[in-house]
Amino acid sequence: MRGYDKHAFEPFAVTVDLAVLTLRAGALHVLLVERGQEPYAGRWALPGGFLLPEESAETAARRELAEETGLADVTGLHLEQLRTYSEPARDPRMRVVSVAFAALLPNPPEPRGGGDAAEARWVPYDKAQGLAFDHDRILADARDRVGAKLEYTCLATAFCPAEFTLGELQGVYETVWGTALDRPNFRRKVLATPGFVEPVPGAARLTGGRGKPAALYRAGPATSLHPPLPRTPREGRPA
Amino acid sequence: MRGYDKHAFEPFAVTVDLAVLTLRAGALHVLLVERGQEPYAGRWALPGGFLLPEESAETAARRELAEETGLADVTGLHLEQLRTYSEPARDPRMRVVSVAFAALLPNPPEPRGGGDAAEARWVPYDKAQGLAFDHDRILADARDRVGAKLEYTCLATAFCPAEFTLGELQGVYETVWGTALDRPNFRRKVLATPGFVEPVPGAARLTGGRGKPAALYRAGPATSLHPPLPRTPREGRPA
DNA sequence: CGTCTTTATAGTCGTAGTGACTATTAAGGG
DNA sequence: CCCTTAATAGTCACTACGACTATAAAGACG
């Protein structure tokens, strides 16, 4: 079977599924929708939908992201293809091949209900279990990918608003990894990485609570982290 | 468009494309097939083909790998999903969504011609340009992915036969990365990583050429490399 | 108005990892 | 028998990092 040509081919339905992750109240949350129809009626699922005839998977994913979050502008958001799930039995009705994406949001908006009656809701990651289809697996893969990329990329700023403190940035790592990091060491490492964060020159303080006001930073132009930020600050699993 | 249900869906053709990489004569090679039909007749392309009705993409990829290489047993070979390419215009005939894989081979066999007349051939990576469809892009992505995974995983042994010398293992890194590594430092690093390689106890030497015979090693159980093997031994780009 | 708490920031110290070397060993080629 | 080649052993200095202590600047609470 060389070069697509010789044989008849089976038509497949192609969808995108989105693991939209954000931080709310110091916990990792994922956007879920409640299914209205069979199969899996009443179960929670990752938002997603069919590819339109003239769309790439990336285009469809960004369209779905806008629809489900209700955000007017999703162009700046981090959207990343995870992998494609194609087990023959993953949808009981027919062959559905799904291209999965992970999306990262800074300030989580309240999800609006889309055009249909399905409900969308932010759910803590730990409670997002028993999802429809193979979405448990997709969601776990998304978290693994994001956690891994925090180590060697500057992805963490995608969870933060335009201006943020180093404490907030550290909270991203601690929340996604589930480990505590030493604050002075984290600070030293981040500031020593050129282009990771840039200080906001003028108004360099922000406070919502107690303690000394923290300086504000913006995301810098760097995308990779060399050497990586290790996952083992106090406790941690071995290699 | 929630949960797959509401709208009619477009049927797509789904294929797998394989970037089969190996080392021949100290250079990275990729397995290419010559296309017999339009579009891109006479051009070289990555091997691949349609998903069968009851196959996952992984199953189809491994089947194609066996067909194209002529190897009887491909179960032990490293096969890894890269990403899915779904641009609407990537195939001029129709909507074809392709799930791309990277495969790594130790001893490259001479490719056999498959059932059809198309020719398969090992081509040096640097000369594999002007491929059909978006296969230039897929091939470049495969090389990027493999190169990156060499840094922080034990993937390099997938390019080596069952027993190999540390010099051969170092050659994998140098060939894929295109950089020279310091031999004593490489040796120290590899041996200091538990589970990366294990010495072959009995006959611990092999020679095909000049020089002191090298000890033989096998791949160990470890899969990740902590801390990673940095890409900058003598010369190298900055972070 | 002071003290306590909280958070940010500054700095110190010892160690592990590593880049850059040099030296030695064991083979083959002329 | 030397020369070359490649593997292996070992040294040394520097840097990054984990662990830790100290100081600064805010609000809370009496």
**Same domain assignment for residues B118 and B198:** no
Task: Choose one of A122, A145, A168: the last residue of a domain.
Answer: A145
**Same domain assignment for residues A36 and A139:** yes
Residue B190: CATH number of its domain: 1.10.10.10
**Same domain assignment for residues A137 and A193:** no
**Same domain assignment for residues B167 and B71:** no
Full domain range(s) for residue A94 = 6-145
Instruction: Flag whether A237 is in a domain.
Output: no
The total domain count for chain B is 2
- The two three-digit tokens of residue A118, written as one number: 């399905």
Structure confidence at residue A201 (pLDDT) = 83
Give the nucleotide at minimum CA-to-C1' distance from A209: D27
Task: Choose one of A145, A173, A206: the last residue of a domain.
Answer: A145
What are A73-125's pLDDT values in tens digits? 999 999 999 999 999 999 999 999 999 999 999 987 776 655 554 689 999 99
Nearest C-alpha neighbor of A81 from the set A28, A155, A145: A145
Alpha-carbon span A235 to A110, nearest angstrom: 35
**Same domain assignment for residues B187 and B137:** no
Structure confidence at residue B171 (pLDDT) = 96
Structure confidence at residue B204 (pLDDT) = 63
Instruction: Flag whether B137 is in a domain.
Output: yes
**In contact, A125 and A202? CB cutoff 8 Å:** no
Nearest C-alpha neighbor of A25 from the set A117, A90, A107, A84: A107
Instruction: Flag whether B139 is in a domain.
Output: yes
**Same domain assignment for residues B160 and B131:** no
Residues sharing a CB contact under 8 Å with residue B16, sequence separation 6 or more, in sequence order: B48, B49, B51, B57, B60, B61, B64, B98, B99, B100, B101
Active site residues of A: 119
Alpha-carbon span B176 to B169, nearest angstrom: 11
Instruction: Flag whether B234 is in a domain.
Output: no
Per the structure, the residue whose CA is closest to nucleotide D27 at C1' is A210
Task: Choose one of A95, A125, A145: the last residue of a domain.
Answer: A145
Question: Does residue B238 carry a pLDDT above 50?
Answer: no
Structure confidence at residue B239 (pLDDT) = 26
What are A8-49's pLDDT values in tens digits? 678 999 999 999 999 999 999 999 999 988 899 999 999 999
Is B119 considered catalytic here?
Answer: yes
Q: Which of B119, B151, B163, B174 does the annotation list as catalytic?
A: B119
**Same domain assignment for residues B122 and B75:** yes
Q: How far is the CA of B236 from the C1' of D2 (A)?
A: 38
Instruction: Flag whether A166 is in a domain.
Output: yes
**Same domain assignment for residues B25 and B70:** yes
Report chain B's mean pLDDT, rounded to a whole number.
89
**Same domain assignment for residues B77 and B185:** no
- Of the candidate ranges A33-37, B15-19, B48-52, B143-147, the one whose mean pLDDT is the lowest: A33-37
Instruction: Flag whether A235 is in a domain.
Output: no
Alpha-carbon span B139 to B134, nearest angstrom: 9
Instruction: Flag whether A24 is in a domain.
Output: yes
A59 by Cβ neighbours in 10 Å (0-12 / 13-18 / 19+) ranks as middle
| Residue A54 touches chain B, beta carbons under 8 Å | yes
Give the predicted TM-score (pTM) of the model. Answer: 0.92
**Same domain assignment for residues A160 and A191:** yes
Structure confidence at residue A3 (pLDDT) = 44
Instruction: Flag whether B231 is in a domain.
Output: no
Interface test with A, best of B9, B62, B131, B223 (most A CBs within 10 A): B9
A189 touches strand D (CB under 7 A): yes
Q: Looking at strand C, which nucleotides approach a protein CB closer than 7 A?
A: 5-12, 17-23, 25-29
Cβ contact, residue pair A10, B224, below 8 Å? no
**Same domain assignment for residues B136 and B80:** yes
Cβ contact, residue pair A11, B12, below 8 Å? yes
Q: Pick B2's closest partner by Cβ from A5, A14, A118.
A: A118
- The two three-digit tokens of residue B4, written as one number: 């797959």
How far CA A75 is from CA of A71, A79, A185, B114, in Å, comes to 10, 9, 34, 45
Cβ contact, residue pair A50, B9, below 8 Å? yes
What are B23-46's pLDDT values in tens digits? 999 999 999 999 988 899 999 999
Residue B18: CATH number of its domain: 3.90.79.10
- Alpha-helix runs per DSSP H in A130-234: 135-152, 166-177, 183-192
**Same domain assignment for residues B141 and B160:** no
Residues sharing a CB contact under 8 Å with residue B207, sequence separation 6 or more, in sequence order: B213, B214
